């Protein structure tokens, strides 16, 4: 039954959308460890769920593709305006910056 479920289009779509969060973290140079520490791991799970149900999936894919092709983010903070996880991503960036400030 498990193998059969993996072939279902909706299952594959949920997996694909969930991976967009990983790609966004990479694009913004946020480490997976840093992202996972937010709210003791609860935030990354919620962020993934947000990506899975996001109505802006195509915009996200285009934005990420532009970055992969050498383009720069057009947004001042680097996070796309349409991203429903913007506050979480901003928090990850801020915490990473504060950690760097403490170690120097």
Residue 104, pLDDT score: 44
In the chain, the percentage of residues whose pLDDT exceeds 70 is: 83
Residue 75, pLDDT score: 65
- Look-up of token digits 């909706």: 10
Tell me the C-alpha distance between 91 and 13, whole Å. 27
- Counting Cα atoms < 13 Å in the Cβ hemisphere of 49 gives 5
Tokens of residue 90, six digits: 């901003």
pTM comes to 0.78
Instruction: Pick the more confident residue, 96 or 43.
Output: 43
pLDDT digits (tens, 9 = 90+) for 10-58: 888 888 888 999 999 998 889 888 888 888 878 999 999 999 999 999 9
């Amino acid at each position: 039954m498990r193998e059969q479920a993996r072939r279902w289009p909706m299952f594959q779509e949920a997996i694909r959308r969930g991976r967009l969060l990983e790609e966004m973290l990479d694009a913004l140079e946020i480490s997976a460890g840093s992202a996972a520490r937010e709210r003791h791991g609860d935030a990354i799970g919620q962020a993934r769920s947000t990506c899975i149900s996001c109505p802006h999936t195509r915009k996200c894919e285009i934005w990420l593709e532009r970055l992969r092709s050498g383009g720069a983010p057009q947004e001042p903070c680097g996070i796309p305006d349409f991203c429903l996880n913007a506050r979480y991503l901003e928090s990850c960036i801020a915490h990473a910056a504060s950690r760097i400030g403490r170690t120097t």
